[in-house]
Amino acid sequence: MSAMQASVHRYDAADASGAVILDNGVVLPFTSDALRDSGLRGLRVGQRLSMEVTDADPPTVTRLWIVGIGEGQSIG
């Protein structure tokens, strides 16, 4: 598993799924499972996130979060 950052590309609040876009332009979809334990109630397009992805081809987003928000997260 790899940790990296990306920006929200699209987000469907109805089912908490969407896609992120990496800095190199690659778009990766995510399901509500990746967002479930983040402590976030919603996302907005352009929002910067940390994420974990599998090393599979194609990669799968397994976790999304914002540093400092959610259980076990601290700033500084």
Question: Would you say 58 and 45 are in contact if contact means Cβ atoms under 8 Å apart?
Answer: no
Residue 76 has pLDDT above 70, yes or no: no
For residue range 19-73, list pLDDT tens digits in order: 999 999 999 999 999 988 787 888 999 999 999 999 999 899 999 988 766 566 6
Domain ranges in the chain are 2-65
d(CA 36, CA 71): 12
Q: What is the Cα 12 distance to its own chain's centre? A: 13
pLDDT at 29: 96
Split at pLDDT 50, 70, 90, the class of 1 is confident
- pTM for this structure? 0.82
Domain 2-65: homologous superfamily in CATH: Nucleic acid-binding proteins (2.40.50.140)
pLDDT at 75: 53
